[in-house]
């Protein structure tokens, strides 16, 4: 069984500040982990993914995430927020090889960026 | 570029009507999915299909059915729409070539049932 917890339904930052969106997961097998972004009135778009290669994963738009097995975490960060980063962010886990390819999504975190 | 398209961006239907939502993908993906998205609840899986004419129930299949007659097309059917089915509906696909575990999403259909 797999599950995802995103801490904080809303995160508010100032433009130029560090962005940190938290994601913790549980999985019975080595996981594949994903972050997706959803801009208003659009579908989800893949931001980055971890598939058991490097633990620090770089994605689009300056975002990155670090897989920490001991903490079962996959937090998303960006050094400097931009107004255009305002969106809904979803963390997802799949069970990887030998497990279900169907992801489980977190409930989402809305990122608000203030000027 | 993988493209997933949905037949409508916005739809308004009356209670009791039969509603069809269509999804088409152009990447020859084996797997297709229907989700509904509601504020605070994230994405919930309604149905998925791993091959033509094959379908599996997701977490919330009640009140919905699906059809997959061709590999590229996956339809969601609301047999008799109710107001509690007012929601954003998202279609997604995934395939072995593109990366079996990552999903590609359509733009969504916002359905309002009055």
User: Tell me, what's the pLDDT at A99?
Assistant: 58
User: Tell me, what's the pLDDT at B112?
Assistant: 98
Residue A64: band (very low, low, confident or very high) from pLDDT cuts 50, 70, 90:
very high
Q: Out of A42, A49, A96, name the one closest to residue B107 (CB).
A: A42
- Residue contact A101–B94, C-beta within 8 A: yes
A55 touches chain B (CB under 8 A): no
User: Tell me, what's the pLDDT at A27?
Assistant: 81
Q: Out of B48, B102, B110, name the one closest to residue A34 (CB).
A: B102
Instruction: Please choose, from the candidates A88, A14, A33, A87, the residue with its C-alpha nearest in 3D space to the C-alpha of residue B101.
Output: A33
What are the chain A neighbours of B94 within 8 Å (beta carbons)? 101
Residue A96: band (very low, low, confident or very high) from pLDDT cuts 50, 70, 90:
low
Which pair of structure tokens corresponds to residue A43? Answer: 């579908």
The overall average pLDDT reported for chain A is 91
Question: CA quadruple A51, A54, A57, A59: dihedral positive or negative?
Answer: negative
What's the longest Cα–Cα distance across chain B? 42
- Residue contact A90–B43, C-beta within 8 A: yes
User: Tell me, what's the pLDDT at A12?
Assistant: 97
A101 touches chain B (CB under 8 A): yes
Which pair of structure tokens corresponds to residue A51? Answer: 């598939």
- Cα–Cα distance for residue pair B73/B24, rounded to 1 Å: 5
What are the residues whose beta carbons fall under 8 Å from the beta carbon of B48, sequence distance 6 or more?
Answer: A102, B31, B32, B33, B34, B55, B56, B58
- Residue contact A105–B43, C-beta within 8 A: yes
- Residue contact B45–A102, C-beta within 8 A: yes
| Matching residue, tokens 């097309």 | B73
Average of pLDDT values for A22-50? 91
Q: Out of B41, B101, B107, name the one closest to residue A43 (CB).
A: B107
pLDDT in tens, chain B (114 residues): 669 999 999 999 999 999 999 999 998 898 999 999 998 888 999 999 988 999 999 999 999 999 999 999 999 999 999 999 999 999 999 887 666 678 999 999 999 999
User: Tell me, what's the pLDDT at A57?
Assistant: 94
How many contiguous H segments (helices) and E segments (strands) does chain A have?
0, 11
- Cα–Cα distance for residue pair B54/B72, rounded to 1 Å: 13
Query: Is pLDDT above 90 for A20?
Result: yes
């Amino acid at each position: 069984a797999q599950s995802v917890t995103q801490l904080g339904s809303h995160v508010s930052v100032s433009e130029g500040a560090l962005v940190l969106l938290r994601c913790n997961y549980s999985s019975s097998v080595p996981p594949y982990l994903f972050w997706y972004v959803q801009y208003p009135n659009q579908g989800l778009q893949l931001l980055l993914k971890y598939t058991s290669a490097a633990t620090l994963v770089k994605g689009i738009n300056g975002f990155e995430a670090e897989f920490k097995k001991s903490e079962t975490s996959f937090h998303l960060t960006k050094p400097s927020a931009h107004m255009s980063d305002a969106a809904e962010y979803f963390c997802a886990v799949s069970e990887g090889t030998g497990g279900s390819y169907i992801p489980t999504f977190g409930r989402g975190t809305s990122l608000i960026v203030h000027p | 570029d993988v493209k997933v398209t949905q037949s409508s961006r916005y739809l308004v239907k009356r209670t009791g009507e039969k509603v069809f939502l269509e999804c088409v993908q152009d990447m020859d993906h084996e797997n297709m999915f229907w989700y509904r998205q509601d504020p605070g609840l994230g994405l919930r899986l309604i149905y998925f299909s791993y091959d033509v004419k094959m379908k599996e129930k997701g977490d919330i299949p009640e009140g919905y059915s699906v059809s997959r007659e061709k590999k590229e097309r996956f339809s969601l059917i609301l047999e008799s729409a109710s107001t509690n089915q007012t929601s954003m509906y998202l279609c997604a696909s995934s395939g072995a070539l593109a990366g079996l575990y990552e999903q590609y999403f359509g733009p969504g259909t916002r359905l309002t049932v009055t």
